[in-house]
Structure 1
Amino acid sequence: MNSFSPFPGAGPEVVAFQRAELGVILSLYGRMVAAGEWRDYGISNLREVAIFSVFRRTAENPLYRIEKRPKLRNRQGLYAVIGMEGQVLKRGHDLRAVLRVLERKLIRAVE
């Protein structure tokens, strides 16, 4: 399962990104930082969702949120990219495919 509890019986389990998922996300993050588009990130592990938030500046609201929602695995898809205004930019079952919506922005930033 994709959730964990650090101590058995210590309360509700939370959703977290696995190492391979973080590798994919941090690879994109590193390229966006190198392009000068992103500067900071935060990770939240909650009961129903794990969120990787991306910031242009530390004190701002996130530019994008990459979410993992196991309950949507059999419906719209486990992963989603959410924009600053709360709009769903892309949703799906494959993390790499969902992140392509952000990679297009990297191509524009480099040109």
Structure 2
Amino acid sequence: MADQPELQHSDGRTSENGTATVVDLREYRQSRDPPPVTFHRRELDQILWIYGRMVGEGEWRDYAIDHTRDKAVFSVFKRAGDVPLYRIEKDPKLASRQGAFSVVNAGGMVLKRGHELTQVLKVFDKVLKLVDK
């Protein structure tokens, strides 16, 4: 097999004697793809407490959680087939400026933004109604 050329790896990792080195796959994936942004347990507890209260009042009926590389989104729905009434977003890129947490309505308008989730969720203490045009 000496007449076959040596395979070159895309990252060029070779040892002194010209053979490829072993790379831990988990470390490699984490370096290439950062983990998605997620809600921490306490944040999710606060959001689900508000969700449960609004379900009890008959305002909300369904939810969805999305974790992307850039932000985490908790969407609430009146009906499963509709667009979300509200989105509770966590965007760490905005943490040093406007605050990582925000509540966005169905039209895309930011209702409240802040550094602490507890303060941002107070927007639901007021009675918010969806207005049809």
- Pick the TM interval, shorter chain: 0.7 to 0.9
Please state whether the residue corresponding to 1:65 is helix, strand or coil: strand
Please state whether the residue corresponding to 1:74 is helix, strand or coil: coil
In the alignment, which residue of structure 2 is the partner of 1:80? 102
Matched, 1:35 2:57: yes
Q: Give the count of matched residue pairs.
A: 101
Structure having the larger proportion of residues in helix: 1
Matched residues, percent identical?
52
In the alignment, which residue of structure 1 is the partner of 2:41? 19
How many Å apart are 1:103 and its aligned residue? 2.0
Query: Hey, which bits of structure 1, 4+ residues long, moved more than 3 A?
Result: none
Matched, 1:9 2:25: no
Q: Which amino acid aligns with 1:9?
A: Y
How many Å apart are 1:12 and its aligned residue? 3.0
Matched, 1:71 2:117: no
Matched, 1:44 2:66: yes
**Distance across 1 between alignment mates of 2:83 and 2:28:** 34
Please state whether the residue corresponding to 1:33 is helix, strand or coil: helix
Please state whether the residue corresponding to 1:81 is helix, strand or coil: strand
Distance 1:42 1:86, change over 3 A: same
**Distance across 1 between alignment mates of 2:37 and 2:28:** 16
Per-residue deviation, residues 48-86 of structure 1 (Å, max 9, x unmatched): 100000000000000000000001111000100000000
Matched, 1:92 2:114: yes
- TM-score, with normalisation over the residues of structure 2? 0.72
In the alignment, which residue of structure 2 is the partner of 1:105? 127
How many Å apart are 1:102 and its aligned residue? 1.4
Matched, 1:61 2:83: yes
CA RMSD of aligned residues (A): 1.4
How many Å apart are 1:13 and its aligned residue? 1.8
**Distance across 2 between alignment mates of 1:103 and 1:8:** 44
Please state whether the residue corresponding to 2:126 is helix, strand or coil: helix
Q: Looking at CA atoms only, which structure, 1 or 2, has the larger radius of gyration?
A: 2
